[in-house]
Amino acid sequence: MESFKISVRAGSAWAALFALTALSGSAYGETPDISGTYWASEYQAKIQVLGGGDLPLTADGKAAYEKNVAGLKDGSVVDSARRYCVPDGLPRVLATPYPFEIFQAPPGQITIVHELNHQVRVIALDQPMPSEKELTTLPYYNGHSVGHFEGDTLVVETAGFNEKTFVDATGAPHSDEMRTVERIRRVSPTQLEDVVTIHDPMYYTRDWQARFVYALRNDVWLDDYVCGERHRDLSAVAGVRRP
């Protein structure tokens, strides 16, 4: 009788363990599958703070924002991402109304390929953030990213941004000291969520988040993107204003 009870528990324990592996994908260190082609179904030029409210700007942040807005209006500040198609930077690129792809390749890297401006984000898996020296010597439009999986979520830390990008299309500012953390995961079999935390004490009084959701669209093939040329029809993306 004793040995029968132990066997029953062992059998159900194995079944439970296998089930856990399938559900979480990480019980034995297997990584979740977040790869695919994704496309947002809505676009917002002004980034929406999770929880509502205005951007929590410091005095310097407010001044920088006003300067950007005025400059964009009178032409003294150029929106290079739209004029010359340089990368949008973070978090602005997360609002892209164009599709993008996530590849879990090569080994040790996640590669995100955007249709917009054919920009590419490289995320080094399970690596330390590059040194401050490297980050300040070679700042990137989209920053330097390192990531790791926590259960079903890819956590991406990014730092080493240049100062040539805006937080959003309205010209919200960031400094070169901004650091971001994204938590990226499938929230359903057909949707991916990216919740980004912005940390930039020079311009913002506190860390704040924004949330972006994308539909899985493996039926879509990314197009070429050359600045100034006609691109794909975005009429299915709510909120896109076509000039």
Partner 1 sequence: MPRPAANLTIGVLTGAFCLAAGSSHPAFAQGAARPDFAPNASIGWYSYNRLFIAPASGAGPVQQDPAHPYVSNDEFRVTGKQPTSQLADLSAPILQPWAKEVVRKRNEIVLSGKPANPPWASCWPAGVTGFLLRPMTQAMYFIQGPKEVVIILSSKQEVRHVHLTDKHSANVKTSWFGESIGHYEGDSLVVDTIGLDDRTWIDGFGTPHTKQLHIIERFHLIEDGKVLEANIHVEDPGAFTMPWDAIQHYRQYEAAVRAMPIERLAQLASAPEGPMQEMVCADNPNSFLPGTDALPPPRANTPDF
Residue 217 is encoded by which pair of tokens?
A: 């669209």
Contacts of 173 (CB under 8 A, 6+ apart): 61, 64, 65, 68, 166, 167, 203
DSSP-derived secondary structure for 172-209? ----TT-EEEEEEEEEETTEEEEEEEEE-TTTBSS-EE
* DSSP state at residue 234: -
Q: Which of 26, 41, 118, 197 binds partner 1 (CB under 8 A)?
A: 118
* Minimum separation from the CB atom of position 206 to partner 1 (A): 29
Query: How far apart are alpha carbons 114 and 213 in whole angstroms?
Result: 15
* Minimum separation from the CB atom of position 54 to partner 1 (A): 24
Which residue, 70 or 78, is less far from partner 1 as judged by CB?
Answer: 78
Which residue, 31 or 209, is less far from partner 1 as judged by CB?
Answer: 31
Sequence letter at residue 101:
E
Question: Bridge-partner residues for 210, per DSSP?
Answer: 196
221 near partner 1, judged by CB under 8 A: yes
* Stated length of the chain: 243
* Minimum separation from the CB atom of position 109 to partner 1 (A): 4
Q: Which stretch binds partner 1 (CB under 8 A): 28-36, 48-56, 185-193, 201-209?
A: 28-36
* Minimum separation from the CB atom of position 67 to partner 1 (A): 19
Which residue, 58 or 80, is less far from partner 1 as judged by CB?
Answer: 80
Query: How far apart are alpha carbons 39 and 237 in whole angstroms?
Result: 9
* DSSP state at residue 204: B
Query: How far apart are alpha carbons 151 and 40 in whole angstroms?
Result: 24
3-state secondary structure of 72: helix
Q: Which stretch binds partner 1 (CB under 8 A): 47-55, 187-195, 197-205, 221-229?
A: 221-229
Query: How far apart are alpha carbons 172 and 55 in whole angstroms?
Result: 9
Nearest CA-CA partner of 220 in 236, 205, 206: 236
Q: Which of 50, 70, 187, 226 binds partner 1 (CB under 8 A)?
A: 226
Nearest CA-CA partner of 42 in 109, 105, 96: 96
142 near partner 1, judged by CB under 8 A: yes
Q: Which stretch binds partner 1 (CB under 8 A): 49-57, 79-87, 174-182, 183-191?
A: 79-87
* Site pattern 30..49 for partner 1 (x: CB under 8 A): xx-x-x-------x------
Per CB under 8 A, residues contacting partner 1 are: 3-4, 7-8, 10-12, 14-15, 18-19, 21-22, 25, 30-31, 33, 35, 43, 79-80, 82-87, 97, 101, 103-109, 111, 113, 118-120, 122, 124, 138, 140-142, 218, 221-224, 226-229, 231, 234, 240-243
